[in-house]
Amino acid sequence: MKRIDGFLAQLALFLKPGQIAVDPGTRTYYAQDWSKSLTPDASAILFPESTLEVSKILSLARSHGIPVVPSGGRTGLSGGAVAAKGEVVVSLIRMNHMGPVHEGALTVKVEAGAITEAVHRHCAPHGLTWPVDFASKGSSTVGGNIATNAGGVRVIRYGNTRNWVLGITAVAMDGTVHEFNSELEKNNTGYDLRQLLTGSEGTLAVITEATLKVCPLPKSKTAVLFALENFPKLLALFATARKEFPTLSAFECLDSACMESVTGHFAMPFPFPSRAGVYALLELENTSFDEVESPLARILEEGLAQDAVLAQTDKEAAALWKYREGVAESILHGHEVHQEDVSVPVSKLEEFYAEIESRYERELPGFKVFFFGHIGDGNLHIFIQKPQGLSNEEFVQRAHTSDHELFKILQRMKGSVSAEHGIGLLKKHAIGFSRTGPELALMRGLKSVFDPENLLNPGKLLP
Over residues 312-339, the pLDDT tens digits come to: 999 999 999 999 999 999 999 999 999 9
User: Residue 416's closest CA among 406, 424, 425, 426?
Assistant: 406
Residues 222, 292 contacting (CB under 8 angstroms): yes
pLDDT of residue 376: 86
pLDDT of residue 37: 74
User: Residue 339's closest CA among 417, 429, 435?
Assistant: 417
Is residue 389 located within the same domain as residue 338? Answer: yes
As a whole number of angstroms, the distance between CA 377 and CA 416 comes to: 12
Is residue 105 located within the same domain as residue 202? Answer: yes
Q: pLDDT band at residue 31, thresholds of 50, 70 and 90?
A: very high
Residue 83 lies in a domain: yes
pLDDT of residue 421: 86
**Number of compact structural domains in the chain:** 4
pLDDT of residue 366: 87
Amino acid letter, residue 29 = Y
Is residue 211 located within the same domain as residue 131? Answer: yes
CATH classification at residue 180 = 3.30.465.10
Q: Which residues contact 124 (CB under 8 A, 6 or more apart)?
A: 217
Residues 326, 265 contacting (CB under 8 angstroms): yes
pLDDT of residue 129: 97
Is residue 209 located within the same domain as residue 113? Answer: yes
Pick from 216, 250, 273: which residue ends a domain?
A: 216
pLDDT of residue 2: 58
As a whole number of angstroms, the distance between CA 251 and CA 207 comes to: 31
Backbone angle region of 416, left / alpha / beta, with phi > 0 → left and psi within -120 to 50 → alpha: beta
As a whole number of angstroms, the distance between CA 461 and CA 441 comes to: 13
Residue 115 lies in a domain: yes
CA geometry: angle at 76 spanning 156 and 159, to 5°?
15
Residue 460 lies in a domain: no
Is residue 286 located within the same domain as residue 354? Answer: no
Residue 453 lies in a domain: no
Instruction: Output the CA torsion sign for 268, 271, 275, 279.
Output: negative
Q: pLDDT band at residue 35, thresholds of 50, 70 and 90?
A: confident
Count of alpha carbons within 13 angstroms of residue 405, beta-carbon side: 14
Helices assigned H by DSSP within 223-366: 231-244, 256-265, 289-301, 314-325, 327-332, 349-363
pLDDT of residue 1: 54
Q: Count the helices and strands in the chain (H runs, E runs).
A: 15, 18
Q: What range defines the domain where residue 315 resides?
A: 221-329
Predicted confidence (pLDDT) at residue 381 exceeds the cutoff of 60: yes
Residue 459 lies in a domain: no
Tell me the three state secondary structure of residue 409.
helix
As a whole number of angstroms, the distance between CA 239 and CA 244 comes to: 9
pLDDT of residue 289: 84
Predicted confidence (pLDDT) at residue 122 exceeds the cutoff of 90: yes
Is residue 105 located within the same domain as residue 212? Answer: yes
Is residue 347 located within the same domain as residue 325? Answer: no
Is residue 198 located within the same domain as residue 242? Answer: no
Is residue 211 located within the same domain as residue 143? Answer: yes
What is the residue-averaged pLDDT of the chain?
Answer: 95
Is residue 149 located within the same domain as residue 112? Answer: yes
CATH classification at residue 401 = 3.30.70.2740
CB-based burial, 345-377: b 16+ in 10 Å, e otherwise: ebeebeebbeebeeebeeebeebbbbbbbbbbb
CATH classification at residue 253 = 3.30.70.2190
Q: pLDDT band at residue 296, thresholds of 50, 70 and 90?
A: very high
Query: What pLDDT, in 10s, does the model give residues 440-450?
Result: 999 999 999 99
pLDDT of residue 134: 85
Residue 366 lies in a domain: yes
Is residue 172 located within the same domain as residue 257? Answer: no
Query: What pLDDT, in 10s, does the model give residues 335-362?
Result: 999 999 999 999 999 999 999 999 999 9
Query: What pLDDT, in 10s, does the model give residues 70-100?
Result: 999 999 889 999 999 999 999 999 999 999 9
Is residue 270 located within the same domain as residue 344? Answer: no
- In this prediction the pTM is 0.93
Residue 429 lies in a domain: no
Residue 207 lies in a domain: yes
Pick from 329, 348, 363: which residue ends a domain?
A: 329
CATH classification at residue 6 = 3.30.43.10
Instruction: Write the secondary structure of 212-253 as one string of H (helix), E (strand) and C (coil).
Output: EECEECCCCEEEEEEEECCHHHHHHHHHHHHHHCCCEEEEEE
Pick from 174, 195, 216: which residue ends a domain?
A: 216
| pLDDT-above-70 percentage for the chain | 100
Please give the C-alpha separations between residue 176 and each of 72, 94, 144, 211, in angstroms, as whole numbers: 20, 21, 20, 19
As a whole number of angstroms, the distance between CA 158 and CA 285 comes to: 12
pLDDT of residue 136: 86
Q: Radius of gyration (Cα) for the chain, nearest Å?
A: 23
